[in-house]
Amino acid sequence: MRRLFLGAALCALAAAAPAQTAGTEEASADGGRWPAVHSRVARDPAIEARIDGLLARMSLEQKVAQVIQPDIASITPEQYARYNFGSILAGGNSDPGGVPTAPAAEWLALADRFWDASMHGPGLRIPVMWGIDAVHGHANIVGATIFPQNIGLGAMRDPDLIRRIGEVTALEMRVTGIDWDFSPTLAVARDDRWGRSYESFSENPEVVRAYAGAMIEGLQGRPATPDFLGPAHVIATAKHFVGDGGTDGGHDQGDNLSSDAELRDIHGAGYPPAIEAGVQAVMASFSRVRGEKVHGDRDLLTGVLRDQIGFDGLVVGDWNAHGQVDGCSNTSCPQSFNAGLDMFMAPDSWEGLYDNTLAQVRSGEISMARLDEAVRRILRVKLRARLFDEVRPSQRPFAGRFDLLGAPDHRAVARQAVRESLVLLKNQNHLLPLRPGARVLVAGDGADNIPKQAGGWTITWQGTGTTNADFPNAQSIWGGIRETVEAAGGHATLSADGSFTDRPDVAIVVFGENPYAEFVGDRRSIEYSPADDSDLQLLRRLRAQGIPVVSVFLSGRPLWVNPEINASDAFVAAFLPGSEGGGVADVLFANPDGSVRNDFRGRLSFSWPRRPDQMPLNVGDSNYDPLFPYGYGLRYADNGDLAPLSEDRPAGGGLPEGVLFGRGALPPGWRLASEGEVSLRNIDRRAQEDSRLATWRGAGRIAILPGQPVDLSREATGELSLVFEYRIDAAPAGPVSLRLGSAALPIAGDLRGAPVGQWRTLIMPLRCFARAGATTDAVSPPFAIESDGAMTMALSDVRIASAAVDQDHCGRP
Ligand code: BGC
Ligand code: BGC
């Protein structure tokens, strides 16, 4: 009832607003009913009979255990054995022994331990099923082939290659004994401020529709063949059902206000083809639909998914997402189970959740019929995957074949994907393709930086904290350029800051977003907002010396980069290409005779913004006014000249994301104040009055005072740091501390170590403040420097950002 009522109210609103997409009008007539889908995986009477037999023998406790999925970081195989849970997962930061770079052999050994735990014990035993986020290759594992993130794959428009990518991913998972992939993401991202935009193939439901079945067939094998869930394949998951890519403002885990018809035709477009291709799992979304958390939404999880579409696999929850349903906690949520969730993802909450769910079945709050139904679906998937007839993971075909991780033919598939996903946006005077025999300068902090070219969900959840050394089977973009140029007798030099001694013929500058995942990547604006403007200065410096500049832009989404495009002769959107940096050189360079070696093929799967305040921006909008429309992408034969673009930022556009003090300004309503024996005045650093000079004569502090305490709890989970730039003019006489909320950390040692008169950056992990007792949900001040004695310090940029730093270094007294 609630949903229909809300839906009607919002339809009225939507009618008044400009239509977001075409093709939704005719849909409203049927109230958004979804089509019944005929899965190519037929119901097998023999399997159903086997399930009947199992259900008859299982105890209530065994059944409840099947519907719960703990995380390997929070349960031992011994604990697991006691319950015989239905599944385990390895979350983005969960690794054997807690070591992100644990060798593949340790993953396989752990798979054996959990398998043994599930199979050995008194009475009936049910085999474990292990899930992981192999969302761009089996990228949690050192040495695996890492494919471009989905946004780049979307630009290829090549479903056959998508199928191959699924096959390779499945095979590499099999090497480590893992059965179940939480992929593909079928989100149709409509607001690129969303931190998961890169996990989406496209803003256009057509691309997602065309890819969904192909990826699932690649992962699971073709239905009705012996390949299906055979020894070279894994179980796939269509996620996150439904509407994850359409939350208001692009807020991760936020609220999707679409009508029922938009939900089906835009956000749900990938599900019917996924289910037709036989996908065996669907993951419920963290987000809301018109105010209601999907995890508690019976109309969607049961009404749409089961009754209308006819899905007969299992519905798994997201990471403690059931705990966000009204009236639920991480350890108790009958609402979610009754709404149609079959398996709770309960990483660290499994113990309490098991006890409570068991009690709820006993009390009748959860019916026995609902429990049996959920267990039936889980067992059906396990039987289809032949897990009941399996041996230990390490004894299965391909297990332990570590040579298959990053095998040459796998990497060739990824390299082809890189070539096909690059999108050429500008090519002034036909600068590209380059002559491989030239003198090439390769610059930018992304040039020799595999973590940056791979993005989030790579070794670690956020994709941070790793270096090139953690990627034995990968090549940086620089590595590929050097190989190509040297093979042709040219000369390539790497120089991150762009300095050189021998004048180059051309410079390739690789720069862009640093890795992030999920909500940590949410942004307030789509302006490219690096910590400083050093990328732009680098491009301009090279240009000013008369050197033609090719920009290779790494990003998880289109961003407003008009100044950077203006400062480049050629501009390539490379998205997040993964392990095969060599694919970039394959396209940028011609054959030695000057003929085209590989033309650009990529076409934007997301609209590119003309203005920084232009979001959402999607093909089909009325007043659609992108800089580069959906589908754009130059070829070498095209005229790639571009007139200078406007560099105006809208007035009041505010500071970039995470900036507390920058360009001399603070967020609206905030101030930088001095208290005690300290005075503050404006000074110039890069621009007029963009910095402050603080002079302490005795004890006192300077502090950034927000109007109200700020909530940094999300930032605190994401390995972010408090970062500021300072210049010491007179070293501190006594103790100095850096404060965030209630925690103050000593930094006098850091400041005394800084050379007088030079600008420096101080990076303090948020984790340090949390350890020192700061609460992060209501912080004030978010930044203060407190000195007991005299000191003079200039201050320029204060921000919360991800920065390469030792997460355990918490300041020096
Ligand atoms: C993400 C899912 C992922 C799960 C397990 C969640 O936070 O939303 O996409 O599958 O974690 O890592
Ligand atoms: C896990 C991820 C998960 C996230 C959810 C992380 O600690 O590693 O897999 O998606 O938490 O917030």
Tens of pLDDT, residues 53-82: 999 999 999 999 999 999 999 999 999 999
Q: What integer pLDDT is reported at residue 25 of this predicted model?
A: 41
Q: What integer pLDDT is reported at residue 654 of this predicted model?
A: 56
Closest CA to 354 of 337, 373, 340: 337
Would you say the CB of residue 34 lies under 6 angstroms from ligand 2? no
696 has a pLDDT exceeding 70:
yes
Confidence of residue 670 (pLDDT cuts 50, 70, 90): confident
24 has a pLDDT exceeding 80:
no
Task: Tell me which of 237, 240, 283, 319 to substitute to probe ligand 2's pocket, judged by most ligand atoms within 8 Å of the beta carbon.
Answer: 319
Would you say the CB of residue 286 lies under 6 angstroms from ligand 2? no
Residue 415 in any domain: the answer is no
Residue 62 in any domain: the answer is yes
736 has a pLDDT exceeding 70:
yes
Cis peptide before 96 (omega within 30 of 0): no
Cα(275) to centroid of ligand 2, in Å? Answer: 26
Give dist(CA 567, CA 547) in Å, integer.
Answer: 11
Is residue 681 a contact partner of residue 775, using CB atoms and an 8 Å limit? no
Is residue 800 a contact partner of residue 766, using CB atoms and an 8 Å limit? yes
Across residues 507-523, what is the average pLDDT?
A: 95
Angstrom distances, CA of residue 583 to CA of 215, 281, 442, 506, 574 = 21, 33, 15, 19, 10
- 3-state secondary structure at position 48: helix
Q: Do both 149 and 289 map to the same domain?
A: yes
Q: Do both 116 and 199 map to the same domain?
A: yes
Atom 2 (ligand 1): residue with closest C-alpha? Answer: 318
Q: What integer pLDDT is reported at residue 29 of this predicted model?
A: 57
Residue 265 in any domain: the answer is yes
Angstrom distances, CA of residue 13 to CA of 29, 33, 139, 293, 749 = 17, 21, 43, 21, 58
101 has a pLDDT exceeding 70:
yes
Is residue 622 a contact partner of residue 19, using CB atoms and an 8 Å limit? yes
pLDDT tens readout for residues 262-290: 999 999 999 999 999 999 999 999 999 99
Q: What integer pLDDT is reported at residue 14 of this predicted model?
A: 32
pLDDT tens readout for residues 283-332: 999 999 999 999 999 999 999 999 999 999 999 999 999 999 999 999 99
- 3-state secondary structure at position 496: coil
Task: Tell me which of 330, 461, 522 to substitute to probe ligand 2's pocket, judged by most ligand atoms within 8 Å of the beta carbon.
Answer: 461
- Last residue within a domain, chosen from 606, 632, 657: 657
Give dist(CA 792, CA 695) in Å, integer.
Answer: 4
Q: What integer pLDDT is reported at residue 801 of this predicted model?
A: 82
Confidence of residue 656 (pLDDT cuts 50, 70, 90): low
Is residue 235 a contact partner of residue 378, using CB atoms and an 8 Å limit? no
Across residues 449-460, what is the average pLDDT?
A: 98
Angle, nearest 10°, between helix axes 45-57 and 368-384?
130
Q: Do both 599 and 676 map to the same domain?
A: no
Q: What integer pLDDT is reported at residue 30 of this predicted model?
A: 67
* Ligand 2 atom closest to the CA of 94, numbered from 1: 8
90-127 CB burial, b ≥16 within 10 A, e <16: bbbbbbbeeebebebeebbbbbbbbbbbbbeeeeeebb
Q: What is the CATH number of the domain that holds 534?
A: 3.40.50.1700
HEC string of 88-139 equals EEECCCCCHHHCCCCCHHHHHHHHHHHHHHHHCCCCCCCCCCEEECCECECC
- 3-state secondary structure at position 779: strand
Q: What is the CATH number of the domain that holds 697?
A: 2.60.120.430
* Ligand 1 atom closest to the CA of 90, numbered from 1: 12
Would you say the CB of residue 91 lies under 6 angstroms from ligand 2? yes
Is residue 483 a contact partner of residue 415, using CB atoms and an 8 Å limit? no
HEC string of 182-240 equals CCCECCCCCCCCCCCHHHCCCCCHHHHHHHHHHHHHHHHCCCCCCCCCCCCCCECEEEE
* Ligand 1 atom closest to the CA of 286, numbered from 1: 8
- Last residue within a domain, chosen from 341, 376, 403: 403
Confidence of residue 2 (pLDDT cuts 50, 70, 90): very low
Q: Do both 315 and 439 map to the same domain?
A: no
Atom 12 (ligand 2): residue with closest C-alpha? Answer: 319
Residue 812 in any domain: the answer is no
Residue 810 in any domain: the answer is no
**How many percent of the chain have pLDDT more than 90?**
85
Q: Do both 188 and 288 map to the same domain?
A: yes
- 3-state secondary structure at position 508: strand
Q: What integer pLDDT is reported at residue 525 of this predicted model?
A: 86
Q: Do both 438 and 562 map to the same domain?
A: yes
Count the domains in the chain: 3
What distance lies between CA 291 and its chain's CA centroid? 24
Q: How many helices (H) and strands (E) does the chain have?
A: 24, 26
Q: Do both 651 and 540 map to the same domain?
A: yes
Q: Do both 672 and 653 map to the same domain?
A: no
Q: Do both 615 and 640 map to the same domain?
A: yes
87 has a pLDDT exceeding 90:
yes
651 has a pLDDT exceeding 80:
no
Closest CA to 536 of 521, 519, 553: 553
26-57 CB burial, b ≥16 within 10 A, e <16: ebeeeebebeebebebeeeeeeeeebeebeee
- 3-state secondary structure at position 327: coil
* Ligand 1 atom closest to the CA of 240, numbered from 1: 9
Residue 345 one-letter amino acid: M
22 has a pLDDT exceeding 60:
no
Cα(289) to centroid of ligand 1, in Å? Answer: 19
Q: Do both 385 and 432 map to the same domain?
A: no
* Ligand 1 atom closest to the CA of 461, numbered from 1: 12
Q: Which residues pair with 793 in a beta bridge?
A: 694, 728
Would you say the CB of residue 461 lies under 6 angstroms from ligand 2? yes
Give dist(CA 203, CA 195) in Å, integer.
Answer: 14
Tokens 């199928």 appear where? 163
Task: Return the minimum-mean-pLDDT range out of 37-46, 93-102, 176-185, 654-663.
Answer: 654-663
Cα(97) to centroid of ligand 1, in Å? Answer: 20
The conformation of residue 36, written as its DSSP 8-state character, comes to P
Q: What integer pLDDT is reported at residue 655 of this predicted model?
A: 63
Is residue 284 a contact partner of residue 341, using CB atoms and an 8 Å limit? yes
Residue 811 in any domain: the answer is no
Reported pTM = 0.84
Q: Which domain holds residue 730?
A: 659-802
CB count in 10 Å sphere of residue 409: 10
Would you say the CB of residue 195 lies under 6 angstroms from ligand 2? no
- Last residue within a domain, chosen from 629, 657, 685: 657
Q: Do both 183 and 330 map to the same domain?
A: yes
Cα(93) to centroid of ligand 2, in Å? Answer: 7
Residue 410 in any domain: the answer is no
Q: Which residue has the higher pLDDT, 683 or 73?
A: 73
Would you say the CB of residue 478 lies under 6 angstroms from ligand 1? no
245 has a pLDDT exceeding 80:
yes
Q: Do both 394 and 452 map to the same domain?
A: no
Residue 260 in any domain: the answer is yes
Task: Tell me which of 88, 89, 93 to substitute to probe ligand 2's pocket, judged by most ligand atoms within 8 Å of the beta carbon.
Answer: 93
Would you say the CB of residue 182 lies under 6 angstroms from ligand 1? yes
12 has a pLDDT exceeding 70:
no
Atom 5 (ligand 2): residue with closest C-alpha? Answer: 319
Q: What is the mean pLDDT of the chain?
A: 93
Q: What integer pLDDT is reported at residue 657 of this predicted model?
A: 67
Task: Tell me which of 318, 322, 348, 522 to substitute to probe ligand 1's pocket, judged by most ligand atoms within 8 Å of the beta carbon.
Answer: 318
Cα(339) to centroid of ligand 1, in Å? Answer: 20
Q: Which residues pair with 439 in a beta bridge?
A: 491
Cα(91) to centroid of ligand 2, in Å? Answer: 6
Residues carrying an active site annotation: 318, 518
**How many percent of the chain have pLDDT more than 70?**
95
Closest CA to 514 of 580, 581, 458, 443: 458
DSSP string, 662-728: BTTB-STT-EEEEEEEEEEEEE-SSSTT-EEEEEEEEEEEEEEE-SS-B--HHHHHTT-EEEEEEEE
Q: What integer pLDDT is reported at residue 663 of this predicted model?
A: 78
